[in-house]
Amino acid sequence: MHLKYESQLREPLVNGEKTFHQVTEDIVRPIEAKPSRLWYIGFYIAVALLLFGIYSIYRDVTYGIGQWNLNKTVGWGWDITNFVWWVGIGHAGTLISAILLLFRQGWRTGVNRAAEAMTIFAVMCAGQFPIWHMGRVWMAFFVLPYPNTRGPLWVNFNSPLLWDVFAISTYFTVSLLFWYSGLLPDLATVRDRAFTKLRKRFYGVASFGWTGSTKHWQRHESLSLVLAGLSTPLVLSVHTIVSFDFATSVIPGWHTTIFPPYFVAGAIFSGFAMVQTLMVIIRKVFEMEDYITIGHIEAMNKVIVLTGSIVGIAYLTELFMGWYSQNKYEGYTFWYSRAYLFSPYGWSYWGMMACNVLSPQIFWFRKMRRNLFVTFFMSIIVNIGMWFERFVIIVTSLYRDYLPSSWSVYYSPTIWEVGFYAGTFGLFFTCFFLFAKYFPVIAIAEIKYVLKTTGESYKDKMGHLENVAPEVFAHSGHGHTVVENDGAAH
Amino acid sequence: MEQKKHWQSFGELNQSKAYNKDVKDEFKEELPFVADDESKSFLNAKAPRRDFLKYLGFSTAAAVAAASCEMPVKKAIPFANKPEDVVPGVSKYYATTYVQDGDVVSVLAKVRDGRPIKIEGNELSPITKGGTSARVQASVLDLYDTARLRFPTIDGKEVTFEAIDKAMAASLNGPAVILTSSITSPSTKEIISQFIAKYPGSRHVTYDAVSFSGLLLANETTYGKRAIPSYHFDNAKAIVSIGADFLGTWLSPVEFARQYAIGKKLDEKNPEMSKHIHFESVASLTGSNADEKYLHRPSETGAIVAALLSAVNGQGATGISDPKLKAGIENAAKALVANKGAALVVAGSNDVNVQIAVNAINEAVGAGGKTIDWSTPVNYRQGVDADFARLVEEMNAGSVGALLISGANPAYTWVDAEKFKSGLKKVKTTVSFNTKVDETTELCKFVIPDHHYLESWGDAEAKAGYYSFLQPTIYPLFKTRQWQDSLLKWTGNPSDYLAFLKTYWSAKVGGETGWNKALQDGVLHPSTVITSAAASFNGSSVATAVTALLAGKKGGEIELVLYEKIGIGAGQGTANPWLQELPDPVTRATWDNYVIVSPALARTLLNIDLNNSGEADAYEVNPPKKVVKVTVNGTSIELPALIIPGTHPNTIAIAVGYGRSEKLGKSVIGSGKNAYPLASLNGASVNFVNTNVTITSTGEKYPVALTQTHNRYDTPQGNRTEVMKEITLAAYKHHPTEIREEREAELKPWGGLEKFESQGTIYPVFDRPGIKWGMSVDLNTCNGCGACVVACNAENNISVVGKPEVLRGHEMHWLRIDRYYSGDMDNPTVVFQPMMCQHCDNAPCENVCPVAATNHSSEGLNQMTYNRCIGTRYCANNCPYKVRRFNWADYTGADSFPDNQAGIVNDVVLDMNDDLTRMVLNPDVTVRSRGVIEKCSFCVQRLQESKLTAKKESRPMVDSDIKVACQQACPANAINFGNANDKTSSITKTRIENPNRQFYVLEQLHVLPNVTYMAKVRNLEEEAKNNS
């Protein structure tokens, strides 16, 4: 995949006069150095949040879902909102690593590792909600279709919740494999540089005996392609299936055929926003500005403005259909419960509109796309907006559905609902901090692939070579970058 | 043929020695103590010391280990000797009678393994015909009330009955006063008169908390009888009620609801129904059901009655300035006159003059002998406030030596309770017969716990000639004694009450056989219906009364009405958690009383405009409501204000019965405030109206637990007529198929009514052979009273969750009664719609459950499998009717997690989990644990039972085998249930006979519900507004 020509007019993907060795040094440094004070502070905050989340779940399991403010009409609230939100976030990683790999987008190399890790952690967080929101979580294994002595009693294959079980577990498994298989060469690099026995042992086991032989590389490449091929439909299917939780129901505001594409676009939108949030921090904290360049940031901002606009079109389509269908129930949900600013949850709809549709339009401006502060701020805004979106879909549809008699009182979360959500942040960041400390946050090997075609220094040289007559290159095999033995320490 | 012998082993075949030994010793295990020789017995065996210590050590350790594991104690104790007529698991039904403070309802008590668990109406009763009320249904829970008195006390110390009798013998040495609520029992009256004969100078005072003094005295003036006649709403084609809530709380609502329903039942081929015109100040259940309703100030009641009288006499509605009201009176007069001989006027006022004028109107429209029957006067209410007021004076004067109280609770209900209390202190001997410590019992010296009615013997004469009997359905739970027994004892009568009763009745009903038959039936009445008769009317006082009415003083800016709630009554229901959690049909509120204000008053007083969607939303979705302060003659009360459309702008209302003594049980704690002190004593009668009060907003808020927050099915985006269909009689006559055509139009995109089932889906349509359960609810006869809701609670072990949980929308009712307003917000049209699981053929809840915990039976039931449910709540979300309920916390104590109730569920719920209270549970219905969904099952346990009964008798099941709990409880017969595949069943007939009124709620969704509703038809002249 590195056998390609790239115009020198394109921005370099790796800045600075990097050599292969420098790349390794730069990326492995955080693993080998003592964590900074900042890392500790962040880590402890994350663990504290996680513990609070565990306590919140403990209450929910021991005392019942009544620890939350859900009611007879609003059966899902923050729980499923957070579930969909986290699953959505978990889309960017696989999209970057799989679809962009297939589309040969070289810029993905700088961000794919962290994005994939984020995907896995986000899916882990997402998975907590459907599990712990069950009234009898100790019976959760009922959702698994296994031969049993109860009849045998099978699961209900008609239920979108069951499809969720399959979709998310498959997605998680494939993403994890993809991520981990990509990690192998880099773990071997770390192993080879290890200076303590424990590290050697740990990374030795973790790298599965990677030696960097050509055969290994060949299989690795094939595996990557196969997994990319597998993941690609998953990126689209997972959120499609999550959207079926709503789309197959009868509730106005849920029962909508537009949901699958709209959810996928929204998921990519929020996923990229989360990647931005993390990348802006990582490149600063780990001094990796040369690898995660402004160019990367800009590319992702383009995706954000694109998907944000798709989502915006979806919102407007829904509104239009709410009117055009002349269905009074749809009409009420879309035009009163949501779009009417002064209805009880009108604020959440307009919050969503402001965050997801209006504010990303700022990225039509190149200056803004390349502004780190704006990017960081917008990435947060987008994720808030996407949280609102799920909240709007779930709560505003449920709380006033068909029978006016069952319209509910105002639903707002209890501390334990918020605590559960905070706890998943704790889980996410605990994992992410550990990841950042013990794993290479940038794919070393993949950076090295692209270094010689798109690295800054090489581009400079390329510029120089452009003026050289082609005959000079005859039989020189130019454009074929020789990969160093990545397994060896530099 | 030779008998074959099978052998199992060679040993058996050969009968070897080893085999025989093995067979003999197969289960023989001896302690391995080695006896020295065979001759010595076990006791003399020499057990090795080590062995002994080993066994000792092991058994001690095992015992310790076993003891340390907390094992649930199961208290299922089998009968040592099985009683002859008790079959475990089979219910027995005993006819008895619900009697409380003058209310009489003949019932059957369903007794399961010795415990009464459910009350059903007695269909043999000619008065109620199997109907019940919410309070009747809930009364079984009072039997198992943990706050019941468990032993007699003197000055609060436990004593024996012998000690009490002895002490009483010493104390009762002069005339005594027996103070009771209305007594309907002829034998008890006999006992009282014997007691009075024994203690000369004694007397019996009847005191009703909410009395009918006005009516009683008016009848005395005009008919010469201090009595109340029987009313026949079923004979009335025109009914005018002036503030009488006869379907909810007035006199005998169960009886009247049944009669009223007869008039409202619509025959599609001959669409005629009674006309009900209602005048009231505050929205009531009856007013909500009326065909026409007019609002007036409470102070205008007299003028209205006077105007109606003059209008009926053809002199026009004089003296009424409000044009709407005037038109209403003229309408009413027109309807009454047009239906002479089939017209009835009732008034809820306690003012003698009002009732005299009403009697005059009834005379003018020929009600006597037709809709008013003087041949069978009723005994429901006999108290006259003036009698009691005089007693209070005497008590304060110190001239009452002994006071025996049963049923009456003046320390709480009397308008001047403080005066009663101070008087009570001056009475030397105070005796209270009561099941619980109420506000009056608390102050009495001698407290003698009384039986609950389900533990009692007795009789009741609801109306002259119509008797109903009580028999115990359970052995008394506590050291209690029926108060008649005490009276007999103190009279010196050697027989106990049972013997007395038996003697009393045997003579009347023809000996033992007649008595047994009467007990078995529970009712006794003349074989031929007593013909209605009028009474001679003495109109001499009418003119004076009318003059007095017209001279009535004008009301102030705001007027106050005190009213009874259907579940709570005068306060009898406050300590009953089922009744507390029963949403009031009119306000949909639970667990509290509050100030009812009109939307107009809310605009000025509370700054809430219900016509402004933002303000209405904010008011609806937030349970804390603004608190107002109501001041009446210096007495003030602070309560939250609820905005109830259909209330006169200048009127506010507060329910009585709240703010009870905490000794009555957990459910009264924190529940509302006592409004009785706001009443006033108006000479002869207590006046529950005050025409000049002040109301101010305090700026505070107090949460009110409403179960329904939004009240209109009309939205800015369209009128949801698929939810509710109503039509006027005129429109119906003009165009009978209007509703059918509306449905046709709704379903047009999917093939119309005919082909909707097959064309509304892309899936194949399946046959539904065999049984297919179906229900039909007639919205015309349903009056929304809530009896079915409580019946459902009792039948299906539905958890009480307490106010904090209702506030959060966690109530568990499987059946609720939705109440919708339409039209003018100030005086809207009100409809009630019982809503329960619709058992959809194409149920949206079923396909979303990941574990198939909710599924469809071959009989068309949508079933819940509790032990398969994992609680994702997806089914509840996807239910368009929102009838599924989730167990948010461990409401029942059935959870496998120990100690997870304290601090999570409130005390009322814990009290419902008490071993005593749990005796009310229906063993046929699983008690649901935390984390599962539950919902209406169409009383599947009853369906199974009825199928089995038919099967055992080798015959097809018929309608009479089955009555689901809500259907059984309904006093108006609004619910019909049965096998819709059976051509002869009444459900099929109902559906075939009512094609034009029938509709399914949200039919267009193609969920194919199995509950049909029959549209509400209102007897109105004007053309219906075009809703579609």
Q: What is the pLDDT of residues B544-573, one digit of tens each?
A: 888 888 887 788 899 999 999 999 999 999
- pLDDT at residue A483 tops 90: no
What pLDDT was estimated at residue A305? 93
In a domain, residue A12? The reply is no
- pLDDT at residue A16 tops 90: no
In angstroms, how far is CA B757 from the centroid of its own chain?
38
What pLDDT was estimated at residue B651? 93
Domain end residue (candidates: B378, B407, B423): B378
For residue A345, the chain B residue with the least C-alpha distance is: B617
Q: Tell me: the pLDDT tens digits for B842-857?
A: 999 999 999 999 999 9
- pLDDT at residue B588 tops 80: yes
- Range of lowest pLDDT (A353-357, B636-640, B682-686): B682-686
Cβ pair B839, B938 in contact under 8 A: yes
Six-digit token pair at B181?
Answer: 């609520």
In a domain, residue A283? The reply is yes
In a domain, residue B912? The reply is yes
Please give the C-alpha separations between residue B135 and each of B141, B562, B657, B797, in angstroms, as whole numbers: 10, 20, 14, 17
What size, in residues, is chain B? 1028
Mutate to test the interface with A, among B714, B848, B883, B1003 (most CBs of A within 10 A): B848
Domain end residue (candidates: B346, B378, B410): B378
Cβ pair B969, B959 in contact under 8 A: no
Q: Show the domain range for A428.
A: 20-145+155-298+414-473
- Range of lowest pLDDT (B194-203, B251-260, B901-910, B1019-1028): B1019-1028
B759 and B904 share one domain: yes
Mean pLDDT of A453-459: 69
What CATH code is carried by the domain that includes residue B860? 3.30.70.20
Q: For residues A34 and A55, what is the distance between their CA atoms, to the nearest angstrom?
A: 31
B365 and B333 share one domain: yes
Residues 6+ apart with CB under 8 A from A326: none
What pLDDT was estimated at residue A480? 46
State the pLDDT confidence band at A103, using cuts at 50, 70 and 90. confident
Considering its fold, how many domains does chain B have in total? 4
Closest CA to B404 of B395, B413, B393, B412: B395
Mean pLDDT of A340-356: 92
B768 and B910 share one domain: yes
The 10 Å Cβ neighbour count of residue A471 is 6
Q: Tell me: the pLDDT tens digits for A58-69?
A: 999 999 999 999
B665 and B781 share one domain: no
State the pLDDT confidence band at A484, using cuts at 50, 70 and 90. very low
Closest CA to B438 of B678, B156, B662: B662
Mean pLDDT of A248-256: 92
What pLDDT was estimated at residue B791? 95
What pLDDT was estimated at residue B1026? 44
Q: Which long-range contacts (CB under 8 A, 24 or more apart) does A151-158 make?
A: A153/B852, A153/B868, A154/B852, A155/B850, A155/B851, A155/B852, A156/B847, A156/B849, A156/B850, A156/B851, A156/B852, A158/B847, A158/B848
State the pLDDT confidence band at A1, using cuts at 50, 70 and 90. very low
Tell me the pLDDT of chain A averaged across its residues. Answer: 87
- pLDDT at residue B432 tops 60: yes
What is the number of alpha carbons within 13 Å of residue A145 lying toward its C-beta?
13
Residue B469 at interface with chain A, using a CB cutoff of 8 Å: no
In a domain, residue A38? The reply is yes
B591 and B622 share one domain: yes
In a domain, residue B578? The reply is no
State the pLDDT confidence band at A465, using cuts at 50, 70 and 90. low
B678 and B750 share one domain: no
For chains A and B, count residue pairs whose Cβ atoms are closer than 8 Å. 214
State the pLDDT confidence band at B780, using cuts at 50, 70 and 90. very high
B702 and B825 share one domain: no
Backbone CA torsion sign across B526, B532, B538, B544:
positive
In a domain, residue B203? The reply is no
In a domain, residue A139? The reply is yes
B702 and B782 share one domain: no
Query: Would the CB atoms of A336 and B618 count as touching at under 8 Å?
Result: no
Beta pairing partners, B345: B240
CA dihedral A162, A166, A167, A173 (to 10 degrees): 150
State the pLDDT confidence band at B169, using cuts at 50, 70 and 90. confident
Residue A74 at interface with chain B, using a CB cutoff of 8 Å: yes
Mean pLDDT of B430-448: 92
What CATH code is carried by the domain that includes residue B599? 2.40.40
B657 and B789 share one domain: no
Considering its fold, how many domains does chain A have in total? 1
B839 and B855 share one domain: yes
Q: Tell me: the pLDDT tens digits for B978-1001?
A: 999 999 999 999 999 999 999 999
Residues 6+ apart with CB under 8 A from A178: A94, A97, A98, A116, A224, A227, A228, A231
Q: For residues A252 and A331, what is the distance between their CA atoms, to the nearest angstrom?
A: 9
Report the percent of chain B where pLDDT is more than 70.
96
Q: For helices B752-759 and B738-747, what crossing angle results, to 10°?
A: 40
Backbone CA torsion sign across A380, A382, A383, A385:
positive
Q: Show the domain range for B598.
A: 585-706
State the pLDDT confidence band at B37, using cuts at 50, 70 and 90. low
Residue B880 at interface with chain A, using a CB cutoff of 8 Å: yes
Mean pLDDT of B62-88: 69
For residue B877, the chain A residues in CB contact (below 8 A) are 75-76, 249, 251, 398
What strands, in cross-sheet order, belong to the sheet with B157-158?
B157-158, B153-154, B446-449, B429-434, B402-406, B176-180, B203-206
Tell me the pLDDT of chain B averaged across its residues. Answer: 89
Q: Please, which residues 224-283 of chain B have a Cβ atom closer than 8 Å to chain A?
A: none
State the pLDDT confidence band at A475, using cuts at 50, 70 and 90. low
User: Could you say which of A162, A251, A335 has the minimum Cβ distance to residue B717?
Assistant: A335
Residue B41 at interface with chain A, using a CB cutoff of 8 Å: no
Nearest CA to CA, how far is B852 from chain A (Å)? 5
B722 and B676 share one domain: no
Q: Please, which residues 234-293 of chain A have a Cβ atom closer than 8 Å to chain B?
A: 245, 248-251
For residue B869, the chain A residue with the least C-alpha distance is: A136
Q: For residues B587 and B786, what is the distance between their CA atoms, to the nearest angstrom?
A: 12
What pLDDT was estimated at residue A481? 45
In a domain, residue B388? The reply is no
What strands, in cross-sheet order, belong to the sheet with B773-778?
B975-979, B773-778, B1011-1014, B998-999
State the pLDDT confidence band at A477, using cuts at 50, 70 and 90. very low
Domain end residue (candidates: B308, B343, B378): B378
Closest CA to B580 of B477, B707, B709, B452: B707
User: Could you say which of A62, A165, A328 has the minimum Cβ distance to residue B897?
Assistant: A62
Mutate to test the interface with B, among A132, A405, A414 (most CBs of B within 10 A): A405
What strands, in cross-sheet order, belong to the sheet with B238-242?
B292-295, B275-280, B238-242, B343-347
Specify the pTM.
0.89
In a domain, residue B367? The reply is yes
- Range of lowest pLDDT (A28-42, B581-595, B824-838): A28-42
B641 and B743 share one domain: no
What pLDDT was estimated at residue B39? 53
Nearest CA to CA, how far is B475 from chain A (Å)? 38
**Cα–Cα–Cα angle for B866, B870, B872, rounded to 5 degrees:** 120
What pLDDT was estimated at residue A489? 39
Q: Which amino acid is at A427?
A: L
- pLDDT at residue A487 tops 50: no
Q: Which amino acid is at B584?
A: D
In a domain, residue B758? The reply is yes
In a domain, residue A106? The reply is yes
State the pLDDT confidence band at B1027, using cuts at 50, 70 and 90. very low
Query: Would the CB atoms of A410 and B848 count as touching at under 8 Å?
Result: no
Q: Tell me: the pLDDT tens digits for B133-159?
A: 999 999 999 999 999 999 999 998 999
User: Could you say which of A153, A156, A332 has the minimum Cβ distance to residue B849?
Assistant: A156
Provide ipTM, 2 decimals. 0.90
Q: Tell me: the pLDDT tens digits for B264-284?
A: 998 888 888 999 999 999 999
User: Could you say which of A67, A137, A402 has the minimum Cβ distance to residue B880?
Assistant: A402
Q: Tell me: the pLDDT tens digits for B488-528?
A: 999 888 888 999 999 998 888 888 888 999 999 999 988 88
Please give the C-alpha separations between residue A232 and each of A92, A98, B762, in angstroms, as whole numbers: 11, 6, 31
Closest CA to B566 of B939, B819, B391, B199: B819
What CATH code is carried by the domain that includes residue B269? 3.40.228.10
In SS3 terms, A126-146 reads as HHHHHHHCCCCHHHHHHHCCC
In a domain, residue A86? The reply is yes
More confident residue, B79 or B852: B852
Q: For residues B951 and B941, what is the distance between their CA atoms, to the nearest angstrom?
A: 15
